[in-house]
Structure 1
Amino acid sequence: MAQTVLITGASGFIAAHVVEAFLRKGYNVRGTVRSEKAAAEVLKMHAKYSGQISVAIVPDIAAPNAFDEAVKGVDGVIHTASPFILNATDFETELLQPAISGTTGILEAIQKYNSAVSRVVITSSFASVLDPTQGQRPGYVYTEADWNPSTVEQANSSPVMAYLASKTFAERAAFDYVKQKKPNFTVATLCPPMVYGPIAHAVSGVDALNTSAGDIYRLINGSEKAVPDTSFWAFADVRDVAEAHVLAFEKPQAAGQRYLIANSAYSYQQICDIIREKFPELQDKTPKGDTGAALPPIYKVDTTKAVTELGIKFRPLQETIVDMVNSLLALQK
C-alpha cells in the first residue's frame, strides 16, 4: 500500500513541485493550505493525481495545536511552510515566530498524535548556513558545518536579516527538539539558496508572483533598467529541490543530517545574458549590462554531501532560467 506524506504549505512555489515529485513516485499526499480557496487550487493543479491527493486546512501555522489533526494517519512529514518575505515590517510576528513556532509545533503534533512517522524533512535555507556579515567572502567554502551566527538583536536590524535569522532559528529549533525530546522520528533539513525554475503553483497573475519568481520577472518586464547587484551567489532549481525532499525522506542515511542543495554560483548578469540570448524578443526589456562578465571572487558552496549521500544531480543555470522565463511568459498571457 502506498505511503501517505503530509506536505505543509502545499500551495507555495517550492511546495507545489515537492507535491508533484511525491505524487509522481506513487505516494499519497495530504497537503496543508491556509484557506478553502487555496485548497481548491492545489487540487486543481494536481488534478491528474486526484486519487492520490487530499488537503487539510491550517489557517495559521504558528497557532497552538495548528497541526494536531493534519498529522494523524500519515507515514511521513515534509515541512515546507515558512514565510519568505524580504520586506517585512513586524519581524517578530511576520517572520521569526511563524518560522520557529510552525516548525516546533508540527514536531510536537507528530510526537503527540502519530508514532508511525519515522522521518520529517524540513525545508530550511542557505540563509541558515551563510554568515551575512561576511559579504562575498572570496575563497571561503560553505558546507553543512556552517551556521549563520546572527543573534536576535541582529535579526531585528533589517527585513533581510530577520528573514535570514528566521530560517536559522527554526532549523536549530528542529534539531534541538529531537535532541531534547527524543521522538520516534528523525529530522533531515535541506538548505537551498535562491530557488528558481518554472511555476507549478496557482498564481492569479504576474502581480501575485512569489518572491523568487518576481525576482526574475523584473528582468523581463522592462522595470529594471540596469542589471541588479547580486545578493546571494548561489541558486537551486526548484525541481532539484523537490527531488531532494523525496530523497531525504527515503534515504536512511539522511537521518539527523542537513544538506546544501545548490546548483552553482550565478549572477544577475549571467541571467540577463541567458534571457537576451534565448529570448531575442525580450532584449529591449532585459538589461544588457556587461555581457559575458565573469563572476567576481566570491564564496563557494560545497554540495558534495548532497550529491554523494542523496544521489542528486543538478540542472545548469540556463535550463532553469529558460524554463522559468517560459512559464512567466505563459502566465503573462
Structure 2
Amino acid sequence: MKTVGIIGGSGFIGSYTTKKFLEEGYTVKVSVTDIKKSEKYQHLFSLENSDNLNISGLKVEDLEVLKDFVSDCEIVIHGGTPFQLDVNDPQKELFDPTIKGTENFLEAIKVAPLIQKVVFIASVAAYNTNFPLPAYGKTATDTYDETDKKYISVESHPYAQAKFMANQTVENFITKNPNLSFEITSVSPVGVMGKSLSNREDSTSTGMQFLFKNKIAPNPFVQMLYDTNAEMAVVDVNDVAEAIFKAATISGLHGKNYLLSSESYPVSDMSLMLNHKEPKSKGNIIYKNQLARHDLGVNFRPVQETLNSYSKS
C-alpha cells in the first residue's frame, strides 16, 4: 500500500483528492495549517477507507516539518497555497506562503528518499493572471492551450500573480535539476466549482458560487465580473481530483502542466444555472482540454451539471 502526502488535503479541491486516493486504497497523509481547528478536517473521517487517513499540522514555511512530512511518501500532492480574494497584506497573506512555501517544498522533496511522483495543484493563473478576463492581446473568445505564451500583469489580482510566480519556480527547479529520481507534473484548473464535502463557510471556491447564485458583490473584483459579464471558464472539482490522481499515477508526464477546463459561460448564465435555470447562451471551450483528455483520460463534465450540484441556498 503506497503512501500519498497531500498538503492542503482538507480544502475544497484537497478533500476530493483525499477522497479519491482513499477510495483507490492508498494510505493518505493530510497536512493542515492548524491542527487545533478540527472543524476544517473532521469531514475527512467520514470518507470511505478513512482508517487509512492520518492528519498532521504543517505550515509550508517550516522546512524541517515539511521534510519530515514527505519522508515516507511515494507520492506527494502540493495544494497547500492560500486561495483568497480579500487581501489586506498581499506579501504576508499570499506571496510568502505561496512562493516561499513552494521553494521549501521543492527543497524538501529533493532529499526525500521514497518519492516517485509529485503533483502541483497550480492554477489557470500560471497561464493567464488576468483570468477570467483575457490575457493582453487576446479577446474574450480567443482560445488558450498549453503552448500559448504565459501572461502575467502587475495589475492582476495578487493571488494570480503569486500562483504564476510559484509555477515559474517549479519550472526553474525542473530545468536546473535534470536528473531527478522522481517525476513532477502540474495541473492548472480554471474556476473550480461543485459541491463542497465539508460544511465550512470560508472556502473561496464555494463562496464564489454562493455570490454568483445570489448576485452578491462583496468586493471590487466580483463587482467587475458582474459589470463586464465576464466569460468564466469552469471545471468540476471531481474532474480536478481525477486529473490529480491520474497525474500522480501515470508515468512519463514529467515537466508537463495540464489545463483543466470545461466550458466557459458569462457570469449571468452561471447565476441562472446555479438557480437551476437554463443558460441563455451556449458554452464555449476557451481553455482547451485536449491534452488533459488525451494524457490523463479525463472526460470533463458539462458546466451545467457541475453548477446544478451546488445546493447552498
SS of 1:190's equivalent in the other structure is strand
1:211 shift after superposition: 1.4
| Identical columns (%) | 26
2:148 maps to what in 1? 146
Q: Distance in 2 between matches of 1:258 and 1:323?
A: 28
Q: Deviations over 1:212-232 (max 9, x none)?
A: 2111112444746x9924445
Q: Distance in 2 between matches of 1:138 and 1:44?
A: 39
1:29 shift after superposition: 0.5
Q: 1:120 aligns with which of 118, 121, 139?
A: 118
Normalised by the length of structure 2, the TM-score is 0.87
1:278 shift after superposition: 5.0
Alignment of 1:271-310 (within 5 A): 271-278=270-277, 292-293=280-281, 300-310=286-296
Please tell me whether residue 313 in structure 1 is matched to residue 299 in structure 2: yes
Alignment of 1:123-138 (within 5 A): 123-130=121-128, 132=130, 133-134=135-136, 137-138=139-140
Name the aligned partner's letter for residue 170 of structure 2: A
1:56 maps to what in 2? 56
> Aligned Cα RMSD in Å?
2.5
1:215 maps to what in 2? 208
1:39 shift after superposition: 5.0
Q: Which protein is bigger by CA-based radius of gyration?
A: 1
Contact map agreement 1:42 1:202 (CA 8 A) in 2: no
Q: Deviations over 1:165-215 (max 9, x none)?
A: 111111111121122134322210001111100101341xxxx33112111
Please tell me whether residue 245 in structure 1 is matched to residue 244 in structure 2: yes
1:287 maps to what in 2? none
Q: Deviations over 1:134-156 (max 9, x none)?
A: 286245321112353326xx1xx
1:249 shift after superposition: 0.5
2:174 maps to what in 1? 178
1:236–1:116 distance in 2 versus 1, CA, 3 Å: same
Please tell me whether residue 164 in structure 1 is matched to residue 156 in structure 2: no
SS of 1:65's equivalent in the other structure is helix
1:223–1:129 distance in 2 versus 1, CA, 3 Å: closer
Contact map agreement 1:278 1:322 (CA 8 A) in 2: no
SS of 1:218's equivalent in the other structure is helix
Name the aligned partner's letter for residue 208 of structure 2: D
1:49 shift after superposition: 2.2
1:140–1:238 distance in 2 versus 1, CA, 3 Å: same
Matched positions, count:
300
1:5 shift after superposition: 0.3
Long gaps (5+) in structure 1: 280-290
1:284 maps to what in 2? none
Instruction: Identify the range of structure 1 (306-315 vs 194-203) with the bigger mean alpha-carbon deviation.
Output: 194-203
Normalised by the length of structure 1, the TM-score is 0.82
SS of 1:235's equivalent in the other structure is strand
SS of 1:127's equivalent in the other structure is helix
Q: Deviations over 1:222-278 (max 9, x none)?
A: 746x99244453111111001100000011132221100001112222222224445
1:39–1:73 distance in 2 versus 1, CA, 3 Å: farther
Q: 1:188 aligns with which of 185, 188, 198?
A: 185
Long gaps (5+) in structure 2: 218-222
Q: Deviations over 1:71-98 (max 9, x none)?
A: 1111110001111122223222211221
1:272–1:311 distance in 2 versus 1, CA, 3 Å: same
Q: Distance in 2 between matches of 1:264 and 1:254?
A: 25
1:131 shift after superposition: 5.6
Q: Distance in 2 between matches of 1:131 and 1:106?
A: 23
1:23–1:260 distance in 2 versus 1, CA, 3 Å: same
